[in-house]
């Protein structure tokens, strides 16, 4: 069934057309990832599809009765608690808990940080009954555990999915097609994120070949026009100017150049970079890190990982000398020139032009300012545009460029991938590979960490911090393994019904190889387990109805979700056995 149909839609703003005569159809079962550079119109397209943005022309149709749940880029809330905003139910409490907000379910949303508000909005979208989920950067501000859980949740969602994301792992895991937004047009690529990379490469190659032919034709026409007197006529001169314009302009490429030689003027680091000796980091009466000692080397590539709320950003602030440790010492080498790209970034004056952020009105923009901006795809027109006309992602990209423009030899990055487009992420990763200084990055972006960092330190509830052998991938696999063991232990402790399913003996005569008598025996055993599992679901539902505090609701909600999943699994097993018996 067609859920949403966007036909021949155009939208313009002060800088030109954002979308030009585009068409998009989303049907039941579609799982579309939306990608494109910052400012290309991804969020705008989602807003048009959901009816929140009215295009200048074109038609948007939504099938009658279709329910759409959305995660917008900037969610809006009334003065309510997180639980009330999501739905004030056991499922709402469980989802908030999974997203790291179980302890804040009773807090007012309007006093929360922007990242916490987005997590509340995500929980609201996931809990709302819907035929279509429209999500704008759902992994922003999630830790790795929450991202893993979200992936599984989206894999099991039965409706349509339209999702803007820069999380390459998630795009490859949950989407079947990628919708690329580029230069006002839409391009569809089959096969998830890897299919998108192949498809875009082929599209750009074809564009390059067409451009080569086009330029050769223009060059030959120019040579012909320049022969003899006719070339001096106004008509011929106009044709010459057209031919020259074709040769000089070229077609806008849908892929960006990767070169980021921003480190060419990076000051050289001495042997002493940053040394932390037996430091203790506290917030109020809470100890985040205790007894932490480390020496960064001149080419350090260090990741800081761990669940949300454990103190990763606080530790980074301490390394940057923005806050004093409760005890211990921190030493910066005399040659250190540090730049810090935090979650807020440089303050941007909306009334100023982009280029003025480099000059601060004290000088004229030089070639290096413009080169830096061009390398991050702020073209000449955008450089002289007011910052208020930039999209959220473009502003974040500008803040990154301003950080790199400081010519640091030590880079501290706090969630650098949030709100950046995929091209910028790849370019930043390439830059960091060749950066001749030290890099310390807090991140939950798995692809970024895999490519950039060599070692990780883990900040969690233990307060004991140190390097993890094997780097990020080794830590992630260990964490996932421990979670699986924990879930298995919980299921065993709860006397899980699904785990006690009867294994079928392999015998001829049925699709599974089991005999009819074995299948009937298995079906009876499964029926007993279904009754037991159903009782568990009813009991947990009753407990939830009587629960008074949010923490208990969240815990019981998680148990109920697991119990319901077990019941669903057993019912599927019973149905499969029934089909085999009928066959």
Which ranges of 179-300 would DSSP assign to H, the alpha helix?
Answer: 192-225, 234-249
Q: What's the mean pLDDT in 452-465?
A: 83
Q: What's the mean pLDDT in 431-455?
A: 89
State the first-to-last Cα distance of the chain, in angstroms, to the nearest integer.
Answer: 31
Q: Residue 497: what pLDDT?
A: 44
Q: Tens digit of pLDDT for each residue in 467-487?
A: 876 677 777 777 777 766 654
Q: Residue 264: what pLDDT?
A: 65
Q: How are beta strands 327-332 and 274-283 bridged, if at all? A: antiparallel
Candidates 564, 562, 547, 539; CA nearest to 106 is 547
Q: What percent of the chain has pLDDT over 70?
A: 83
Given this structure, which CATH class describes domain 2-197?
alpha beta
Choice among 381-385, 386-390, 473-477, 513-517 with the minimum mean pLDDT: 513-517
Q: What's the mean pLDDT in 442-468?
A: 85
Q: Tens digit of pLDDT for each residue in 423-435?
A: 888 878 888 888 8
* Domain boundaries along the sequence of the chain: 2-197, 274-337+407-480, 494-582
Q: Check pLDDT > 60 for residue 249.
A: no
Q: Residue 390: what pLDDT?
A: 87
List all residues 6 or more positions away from 34 whose beta carbon is below 8 Å from its beta carbon. 42, 45, 46, 162, 163, 164, 165, 178, 179, 181
Q: Check pLDDT > 90 for residue 325.
A: yes
Mean of the per-residue pLDDT values for the chain? Answer: 82
**218 vs 460, more confident:** 460
Q: How confident is the model at residue 489 (pLDDT cuts 50, 70, 90)?
A: very low
Neighbour count for residue 550 (Cβ, 10 Å)? 24
Q: Residue 490: what pLDDT?
A: 42
Q: Residue by residue, what is the 3-state secondary structure of 142-187?
A: CCHHHHHHHHHHHHCCCCEEEEECCCHHHHHHHCCEEEEEECCEEE
Q: What is the DSSP letter of 333?
A: -
Q: How confident is the model at residue 260 (pLDDT cuts 50, 70, 90)?
A: very low
Q: Residue 414: what pLDDT?
A: 94
Q: What percent of the chain has pLDDT over 90?
A: 38
Q: 2-197 and 274-337+407-480 share one CATH topology?
A: yes
Q: Tens digit of pLDDT for each residue in 186-230?
A: 999 998 888 888 888 888 888 777 777 666 766 665 666 566 555
Q: Tens digit of pLDDT for each residue in 117-149?
A: 999 999 999 999 999 999 999 998 898 889 989
Q: Check pLDDT > 50 for residue 334.
A: yes
Q: Is the pTM of this model over 0.75?
A: no
Choice among 38-52, 242-256, 295-309, 477-491 with the minimum mean pLDDT: 242-256
Q: What's the mean pLDDT in 241-254?
A: 54
How far is 417 from 72, CA to CA, in rounded Å? Answer: 18
Q: How are beta strands 274-283 and 286-295 bridged, if at all? A: antiparallel
Q: Residue 504: what pLDDT?
A: 41
**549 vs 306, more confident:** 306
Q: Residue 503: what pLDDT?
A: 41
How far is 120 from 115, CA to CA, in rounded Å? Answer: 9
Name residue, tokens 């007993």. 528
φ and ψ at residue 237, rounded to 5 degrees? -65, -40
Q: How confident is the model at residue 381 (pLDDT cuts 50, 70, 90)?
A: confident
Q: What's the mean pLDDT in 457-463?
A: 81
Q: Check pLDDT > 70 for residue 557.
A: yes
Q: Residue 226: what pLDDT?
A: 65
Q: Residue 232: what pLDDT?
A: 45
Helix and strand counts by DSSP (H, E) for the chain: 18, 18
Q: How confident is the model at residue 509 (pLDDT cuts 50, 70, 90)?
A: very low
Q: Residue 237: what pLDDT?
A: 54
Topology of domain 274-337+407-480, per CATH? Answer: Rossmann fold (3.40.50)
Q: What's the mean pLDDT in 235-261?
A: 51
Q: Check pLDDT > 60 for residue 251.
A: no
32 in helix, strand or coil? strand
Q: Check pLDDT > 90 for residue 514.
A: no
Q: Residue 16: what pLDDT?
A: 77
Q: Check pLDDT > 70 for residue 172.
A: yes
Q: How confident is the model at residue 410 (pLDDT cuts 50, 70, 90)?
A: very high
Which ranges of 439-470 would DSSP assign to H, the alpha helix?
Answer: 446-452
Q: Tens digit of pLDDT for each residue in 35-75?
A: 998 888 999 999 999 999 999 999 999 888 899 999 998 89
Candidates 309, 343, 512, 338; CA nearest to 438 is 338
Residues 190, 194, 197, 203, Cα dihedral to 10°: -30
């Amino acid at each position: 069934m067609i859920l949403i149909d966007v036909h021949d839609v155009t939208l313009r703003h002060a800088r030109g057309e954002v979308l030009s005569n585009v068409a998009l159809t989303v049907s039941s079962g579609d799982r579309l990832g939306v990608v494109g550079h910052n400012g290309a119109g991804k969020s705008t397209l989602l807003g048009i599809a959901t009816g929140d943005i009215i295009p200048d022309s074109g038609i948007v149709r939504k099938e009658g009765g279709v329910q759409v749940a959305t995660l917008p880029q900037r969610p809006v809330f009334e003065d309510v608690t997180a639980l009330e905003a999501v739905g004030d139910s056991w499922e709402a409490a469980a989802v908030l808990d999974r997203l790291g907000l179980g302890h804040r379910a009773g807090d007012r949303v309007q006093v929360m940080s922007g990242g916490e508000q987005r997590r509340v909005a995500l929980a609201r979208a996931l809990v709302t009954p819907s035929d279509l989920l429209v999500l704008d950067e759902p992994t922003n501000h999630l830790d790795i555990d929450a991202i893993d859980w979200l992936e599984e949740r989206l894999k099991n969602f039965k409706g349509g999915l339209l999702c803007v994301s820069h999380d390459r792992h998630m795009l490859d895991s949950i989407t079947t097609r990628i919708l690329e937004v580029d230069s006002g047009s839409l391009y569809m690529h089959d096969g998830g994120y890897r299919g998108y990379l192949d498809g875009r490469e082929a599209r750009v190659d074809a564009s390059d070949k067409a451009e080569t032919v086009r330029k050769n034709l223009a060059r030959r026409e120019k040579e012909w026009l320049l022969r003899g007197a006719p070339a001096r006529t106004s008509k011929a001169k106009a044709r010459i100017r057209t031919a020259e314009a074709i040769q000089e302009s070229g077609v806008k490429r849908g892929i960006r150049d990767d070169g980021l030689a921003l480190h060419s003027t990076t000051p050289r680091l001495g042997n002493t970079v940053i040394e932390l000796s037996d430091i203790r980091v506290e917030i109020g009466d809470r100890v985040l890190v205790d007894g932490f000692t480390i020496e960064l080397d001149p080419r350090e590539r260090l990741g800081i990982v761990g669940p949300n709320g454990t103190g990763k950003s606080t530790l980074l602030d301490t390394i940057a000398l923005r806050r004093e440790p409760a005890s211990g010492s921190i030493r910066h080498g005399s040659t250190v020139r540090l730049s810090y790209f935090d979650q807020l970034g440089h303050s941007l004056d909306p009334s100023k032009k982009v280029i003025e952020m480099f000059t601060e009105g004290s000088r004229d923009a030089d070639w290096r300012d413009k080169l830096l901006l061009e390398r991050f795809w702020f073209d000449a027109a955008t450089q002289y545009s007011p910052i208020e006309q930039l999209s959220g992602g473009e502003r974040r990209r500008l803040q990154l460029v301003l950080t790199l423009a400081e010519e640091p030899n030590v880079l501290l990055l706090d969630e650098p991938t949030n709100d950046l487009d995929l091209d910028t992420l790849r370019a930043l990763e390439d830059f960091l590979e060749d950066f001749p200084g030290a890099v310390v990055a807090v991140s939950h972006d798995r692809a970024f960490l895999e490519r950039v960092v060599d070692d990780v330190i883990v900040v969690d509830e233990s307060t004991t911090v140190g390097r993890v052998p094997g780097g990020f991938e080794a830590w992630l696999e260990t964490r996932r393994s421990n979670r699986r063991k924990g879930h298995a232990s919980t299921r065993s402790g709860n006397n899980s019904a699904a785990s006690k399913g009867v294994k079928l003996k392999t015998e001829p005569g049925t699709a599974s190889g089991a005999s009819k008598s074995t299948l009937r025996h298995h079906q009876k055993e499964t029926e007993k387990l279904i009754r037991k599992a159903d009782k568990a679901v009813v009991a947990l539902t009753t407990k939830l109805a009587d629960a008074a505090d949010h923490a208990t609701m969240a815990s019981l909600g998680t148990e109920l979700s697991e119990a319901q999943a077990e019941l669903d699994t057993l019912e599927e097993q019973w149905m499969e056995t029934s089909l085999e018996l009928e066959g």
